[in-house]
Structures are given as C-alpha cells and as structure tokens.
Amino acid sequence: YTLKAFVIAVLGGLASPYGAFFGGLIFGLIENGSYSLFALMPGLEPFAMTRFLSFAILLLILLFKPTGLLGTK
C-alpha cells in the first residue's frame, strides 16, 4: 500500500491537498478499470498487471509533469 500512496501523492501533486484527493480518485478509477480489463484477458495475471500499471503511471508522471497534476512549481 505504500507504493499506491506514493503514486497517488505524486499524481495529484505533493504540495496540494486537493491534488492528493483527485490523485486518489483518478488512481482508483484507473486501477479498478484496468483490473477488470486484465481479468478478461486470458493468460494475464490481473493483480500483477495493475501493479505494473502503477509503476508505469508513476514513471510517466515523473517524466512529463514532475510536480503532479495539481502541483505548483
């Protein structure tokens, strides 16, 4: 759960309490939707794929918007 909390904080912006809220909301929707999608695909482990997706989201946010979606410089 520590990884999820870190991804949510980075997604929303570390300096913004509203960012943490919206980051959690966005991350929860992505995680639940992707789990449902991966569960339909034969040969894939849904839990492992959602964990991979968490790392991918974190990497993309750090590359393109390091301050988070609602973070400030």
Amino acid code (one letter) for 52: F
More confident residue, 42 or 10: 42
What is the overall mean pLDDT for the chain? Answer: 81
Q: Report residue 73's pLDDT band, with 50, 70 and 90 as the boundaries.
A: low
pLDDT of residue 53 exceeding 80, the answer is yes
Q: Report residue 1's pLDDT band, with 50, 70 and 90 as the boundaries.
A: low
Residue 8 CB-density burial (10 A; 0-12 exposed, 13-18 middle, 19+ buried): buried
- With a pLDDT cut of 90, the percent of the chain lying above it is 0
Task: Express each pLDDT in 24-33 by its tens digit.
Answer: 888 888 888 8
